[in-house]
Amino acid sequence: MHLLFVADPLESFKIYKDTTFAMMREAQARGHQISACEAKDIMWQRGAAVAAWVRDITLTGDLVHWFSAAQRKPDERRQALKDFDAVVMRKDPPFDSEFFYATHLLEQAEREGAKVFNKPRALRDHPEKLAILEWPQFIGPTLVTRDAQDIKRFHAEHHDIILKPLDGMGGTGIFRVKADGLNLGAIIETLNRDGAQTVMVQKFLPAISEGDKRILVIGGQTVPYCLARIPQGGEVRGNLAAGGKGVAQPLSPRDRDIAEAIGPVLAGRGLLLMGLDVIGDSLTEINVTSPTCFQEIADQTGFDVAAMFVQALEAAAAS
């Protein structure tokens, strides 16, 4: 197959941990041709199909100069997306206006015959913080609101809370407020911008000390290991980007129950890959844009997550 990866700039990859790199490496090992572009390289013009300026790349095995490109310039070769066997959307969050517009271009490419994973409409329909609202039986006490008084009432009820913006990633913009309510007003003003921006508030889960577990679901099937991202040095956030320590571990019965209830449903909506975030027994987020942790799980357990993904991609592209 000829695969197009829509991703962040290749030069920015940290290949020792990058999940998109792991996908590419496995795809090349299985004999597939790889091309790459950024979301900004996708374009449409009346009378033509959605296309992108692409680079045809080969992975070299070198740790520094890890790929070679057939094109000298990023805008040297244009190709219609429908002419690839599969388009893998791996643009990192935030899910901002430009990401939103990219999903519309990708959806137009689908109408023209392209096969895009994850499905663009499914990316739009499942924002990573709000997607959990469909599964209240698995989540802890949660509030979504713009209203400062709603947040203060929630704090008065639960005493120890986490506040976070809906468009955050990697743990950015997350605040904890304990029973004393210290700085709650200022934090609300920062996050909700005087009522202009919606905020998610959740009861603090002490089980975060054991890790924020990333559970991967591929093609509706659950990866048997998760990565528990454990906060370090007094930090409340377990995100690897915020300094959390990643420890791979087998799924608990509760982890598996959550994944097996949600995974097949969302896979049926076009989400080939998703990452469920679970603290203790509670689902906190559903990651659909560019879920990570392939390499950490593989390195610590020997389970080849990238192979599972590329096999699922091959099957989905052939269907």
The yes-or-no answer on residue 118 being catalytic is: no
Give 218-236 as a DSSP string.
Answer: ETTEE-SEEEEEE--TT-S
Question: Do 42 and 106 contact (CB within 8 A), yes or no?
Answer: yes
To the query of whether residue 287 is one of the catalytic residues in this protein, the response is yes
Tell me the three state secondary structure of residue 58: strand
Question: Could you tell me which residues are beta bridge partners of residue 279?
Answer: 212, 282
Give CA separation, 288 vs 131, 192, 202, 242, in Å: 10, 24, 20, 20
E strand or H helix at 299: helix 294-301
Residue 164 bears catalytic tag: yes
d(CA 116, CA 38): 15
Catalytic residue among 107, 110, 255, 277: 277
Q: Which two three-digit tokens encode residue 145?
A: 């609101």
| Catalytic hit among 91, 164, 203, 213 | 164
Q: Which of 128, 212, 285, 296 is catalytic?
A: 285
CA-based radius of gyration for the chain: 20
129 is catalytic: yes
Catalytic: which of 91, 129, 203, 213? 129
Angle between helix axes 305-318 and 294-301 (nearest 10 degrees) is 130
Instruction: Please indicate whether residue 277 is annotated as part of the active site.
Output: yes
Report the candidate in 174, 223, 182, 225 with the shortest Cα–Cα distance to residue 199.
Answer: 174
- Computed from CA positions of residues 306, 308, 311, 315, in that sequence, does the dihedral angle turn out positive or negative? negative
* Whole-number Å distance between alpha carbons of 88 and 80: 14
Question: How far from chain centre, in Å, is Cα 80?
Answer: 25
From the candidates 110, 118, 229, 239, give the one annotated as an active-site residue. 229
DSSP 303-314: --HHHHHHHHHH
Has 46 been annotated as catalytic?
no
| Residue 14 neighbours by CB distance under 10 Å | 8
State yes or no: cis peptide before 192, omega within 30 of 0: no
Give catalytic status of residue 72 as yes or no. no
Query: Residues 90, 237, 239, 255: which is the catalytic one?
Result: 237
Could you confirm whether 115 is annotated as catalytic?
no
Whether the Cβ atoms of residue 198 and residue 144 lie closer than 8 Å to each other:
yes
Catalytic residue among 118, 192, 239, 287: 287
Q: What residues act catalytically?
A: 129, 164, 214, 229, 237, 277, 285, 287
